[in-house]
Structure 1
Amino acid sequence: MPSSFAVAGLATDSSSTLGLDGVAVAPAVLAGVGLTDALAWISIGAFFVALLAQWQGAGGAARRIGAAAWLLFGLFWLTMVPYYYYEIQSPLQTLLSLAALPLCAYTGYLLVGGRQSLLLLTKAVALMGLIYLPAETIPVFREWLIETTAVQTHYGMELLGHSPGINEGPDGYQSRFNFDPDETVTGRTTYIVLTCTGIGSMAIFGGLIGAVSAPLKRKVVALAAAIGVIWFLNLTRNVFIGLASPWGWFQQDWLVSFMTTYMGAEANRVSYLVAHNYISQLLSVIALIGITYLVVRILPEILAPLEEVLYILSGNEYDLFEALGKEEYRPESRVETRAAD
């Protein structure tokens, strides 16, 4: 499941042969799906058990259970590395998945060491999982999200003068854009997968917003704003990649030569890789930062879990509430913690 470490992605296939590039490694990736889903559900379940222990006043038990949950969560991300490396071929997502295990293990270490405030971040991640996992593991939800996104993306293409139609993708869903390989530049097309739906980014903000204590009205407004912006930007991104790949928007000779010589890319796949793995993923990171700023303006309380993320990454305490002039929104528990420090 995506979290703050993840960015949405499109999968590609050759127009002449349905299936992902790198078919030889697909069986190995698919064989790990059961383990991956199991680790995801178990870790999220353990997060909620930790929160239940905290609610019952057992702070020590909550931290220990939470630490174990974080370790399992890190192992889950480790199992995603082959998928991102071989199938999606995304350097950014591969590196983030590799980094997740030590970061999660360190978070667990901090919890065991007594950093009670990390239970707020634990709650946020638990809620993210509760939002995302049904889409990841329950076929009827996944099918609806993928096919709805495919229809919306196709409509966006039609607005730009392209109407390839939609047919069945390799996953069995009506998700593949049916460009004629004899009419396009690269002879390739794309199809929608779950990570193209934006559900991962929506889960991130849903978890952050749901985890903090704040008036319901502001939480609803913040959630609506985040989901609306994510939906629009994600749809724009899908249309961009879906057209750039078949029509070879980045098939310039110098770029094709560079990527085939030094990066091992297939020549007719260069436009997809540039559009998806570089331009879109960079813009996705920028967009997440921008959406975070928007949500903070509406719901400053989410600065509390973000402070915990910064502490995990840097080892330093940051007072984002003071830095942004939002001290009146600081949770009382964190005021008490800082006073004790």
Structure 2
Amino acid sequence: MSPLPVTTAAPGTVVDPVAGPATVLSMSIGSVPLSDALAWTAIGAFVVAAVIQWYGATDPARYLAAGAWVVFGVFWLTLAPHYYLEVKSPIETLLTVAALPLCAYTGYLLATGRESLLLLSKAVAFMGLIYLPVETIPVVRTWLIETTAAQTHFGMELLGHSPGLEEGANGYQSRFAFDPDETVTGRTTYIITACTGIGSMAIFGGLIAAVKAPLKRKAVAFPLAVGVIWFLNLVRNVFIGLASPWGWFQQDIFVTIATEFMGAPADRTSYIVAHNFIAQSLSIVALLGITYLVLRILPEILEPLEDVLYILTGTEYDLADALGQEMRTDGGARTDAGASADHDSGPSVDGDDDADR
């Protein structure tokens, strides 16, 4: 979502979203945005592929999932103009452009026999089932956005700022009502779906739901991941929400980069630096740290992660060995004598997996 022009916000105020939305395109199929239609088509195909694999039809599942990966890649590519022209995020733009060839390659590997990628496909199916209802069901989206805005405002109050909340450009009570005459840049921000952390929560929720592991360990790993994401996301929102109006990064070098190389207004510099560079870069570091915490409890997620690395590099990896972790699938440390038998030990995997479906 692009910043509001001055004439559509409060007098003298320019508003930025704290983060770019996942699906904003003018193209549509009937009344459904093209990106939404592609996302639902891909996730639906992933779900069907997981179901028919569960019934033993592995080859049809591979071919269906292969096609779903291609559609999924096209979905991400349709978002590239938005992230480049409106959000002006180099990281998100590069990721959306790279998604199509990577997804197409994943589909090719599936179609040519790499059956292990069905687990990664299943994880993406669960991710979509967690994320898409939030993005597309108004009552859920409203609750999540406004709750996140209220919690972010509380974080600002702890730091001595109490601007109040008012209706943002998206129609929710999510805009931080800083007085433009009292701030450095005259800008402010508002919360949208992508600011809630639901995307990262969906990633870990999908991985945790997809792997075969005892339900007890899954029940520990999921709230741990969600709790850490929730806290770090609020810190990020407070940081961006204060950096933008108070001009924390309005130094000449940053203004030059924003105006000369990114075509942004000078007073938007602090927002761009805080959101597009600092917050997004640290988010990658945070995701790696959360991944490490989760795999300590649920090492089974290493399997789909190894497939991700294979897609990216073309090289097979043993992440447990690379991390110096000899771990069993019941969460304990492996012994040399029992390492080969660990995948058959512990509580009934099949029963737990069925309960998670």
The alignment's TM-score, normalised by the length of structure 2, stands at: 0.85
Q: Which residue of 2 aligns with 1:69?
A: 68
- Indicate the larger mover: 11-20 or 37-46: 11-20
CA distance in 2, matches of 1:117, 1:125: 14
1:328 is matched with which residue? 328
Where do residues 266-285 of structure 1 align in structure 2 (5 Å cutoff)? 266-285=265-284
Residue identity opposite 1:213 in structure 2: K
**Structure with higher RCO (Cα < 8 A, 6+ apart):** 1
* AA aligned opposite 1:17: T
Matches within 5 A, 1:257-272: 257-272=256-271
* Alignment correspondent of 2:199: 200
The answer on 1:17 being equivalent to 2:16 is no
Deviations 1:239-270 (A, max 9, x none): 00000000001112333234323332211000
The 8 Å contact of residues 301 and 331 in structure 1, kept in 2 or not, is answered as no
* Unpaired segments ≥5 residues, structure 1: 1-9, 333-341
Structure 1 window deviating more from structure 2 (243-252 vs 52-61): it is: 52-61
Decide whether aligned partners of structure 1 residues 201 and 52 sit closer, same or farther in structure 2, where only a CA change above 3 A counts: same
**2:248, 2:49 → 1: CA distance?**
50
Return the offset for 1:326.
Answer: 3.1
1:303 aligns with 2:299: no
Quick one: which amino acid aligns to residue 281 of structure 1? Q
| Root mean square deviation of aligned Cα | 1.9
Give the AA of the match of 2:26: L
Report Cα offsets for 1:254-304 as digits up to 9, x if no partner: 332343233322110000000000000110000000000111111111101
Question: In the alignment, is the contact (CA less than 8 A) between 2:42 and 2:68 conserved in 1?
Answer: yes
**Conserved in 2, the CA contact under 8 Å of 1:12 and 1:189?**
no
Could you tell me how far apart the structure 2 residues matched to 1:36 and 1:258 are?
Answer: 31
SS in 2 for 1:265: coil
Q: Is the 8 A contact 2:88 2:262 kept in 1?
A: no
Per the alignment, in what secondary structure is the counterpart of residue 216 of structure 2?
helix
> Which residue in the other structure is 2:51 paired with?
52
Q: Using structure 1 for the length normalisation, give the TM-score.
A: 0.89
* 1:214 CA displacement: 1.1
1:171-320 aligned within 5 A: 171-320=170-319
Question: Does structure 1 retain, via aligned residues, the 8 Å contact 2:207–2:301?
Answer: yes
Q: After superposition, give the CA deviation of every residue in 1:59-83 in whole Å (9 maximum; x if it has no partner).
A: 1101000101111111111111122
For these two proteins, the number of residue pairs brought into alignment is: 318
Given the alignment of the two structures, is residue 117 of structure 1 paired with residue 116 of structure 2, yes or no? Answer: yes
Contact 1:15/1:188, CA 8 A, preserved across alignment: no
- Quote the sequence identity (%): 67
CA contact (8 A) 1:11 1:191 kept: no
Mark the CA change 1:13 to 1:236 in structure 2 (over 3 Å): closer, same or farther. farther
Partners of 2:25 and 2:34 within 8 A in 1 = no
Q: Show CA shifts across 1:150-169 (max 9, x none).
A: 00000000111111111111
